[in-house]
Amino acid sequence: MSPSRVSPRGSTLIEAMAALAVFTIGIIGIMDMNLLASQQNSLARSRTVASKIARDVADSFERIPFNHAILSVPTGLHQDDSGFADMDNTDGLVKLEDAIAQTTERPLLGAADAMFSAEGDRSFYQVAWRVLPVANPDRFGQVDQKRILIMVRFPSPGGGMVQVNTWAIRYNVGLITGDPNTALEL
């Protein structure tokens, strides 16, 4: 046997360190992927709750009279204006907590308020809407519908705010049918 022969029975320290480095990089990648999946899951849950709140607010608008005060806030904006969907612009903006505080009638927005409160911290979800009256040229410019943009905003796990928008349309059924005693308008 010659002394220059290498023994096939083991690995060198360098080989072990290289294997450990590959293993560590793989584990770090898996941990990063797990963190990202957790953040995306949290964002998806928040979006789902925000959509539920917006839909509940839209449904509550169907139960109130066409000329109710919370649907009569004038705005100088048109739906195509950049500030129409901006919750920081207060022109014609109605916030859910303000509408609930001002309403002395039966709880018009009770289910939305309950869901809004049940999710924990009231400051997590910000709920507001803006109303755009639409005049019908066939009715001599009378407003027979209101387009309502419902906005729900919440903080993103990665920082910043995420906003979910839902549109609703409220028709003046009495004006459309010509019957002033329409049950939906009382």
Looking at the domain assignment, is residue 4 inside a domain?
Answer: no
Q: Which domain holds residue 66?
A: 11-177
Assess if residue 141 is contained within a domain.
yes
Query: Is 2 inside any structural domain?
Result: no
Q: Please provide the DSSP assignment of 4-64 as one string.
A: TPPPSSS--HHHHHHHHHHHHHHHHHHHHHHHHHHHHHHHHHHHHHHHHHHHHHHHHHTTS
The residues, any chain, with a CB within 8 Å of residue 2's CB and separated by 6 or more, are none
131 backbone dihedrals φ, ψ, rounded to 5° = -110, 135
The total number of structural domains in the chain stands at 1
Q: Is residue 70 part of a domain?
A: yes
In a domain, 184, yes or no: no
Instruction: Look at residue 119 and tell me if it is in a domain.
Output: yes
Q: What is the pLDDT along the chain (186 residues), one digit of tens a residue?
A: 555 666 666 678 898 899 999 999 999 999 999 999 998 998 999 899 899 989 988 888 888 888 888 888 777 777 777 788 888 888 888 888 777 776 655 555 665 665 555 555 556 888 999 998 888 777 777 888 889 999 999 988 778 899 999 999 888 877 766 665 554 443
Residue 22 lies in a domain: yes
Is there a domain that residue 183 lies in? no
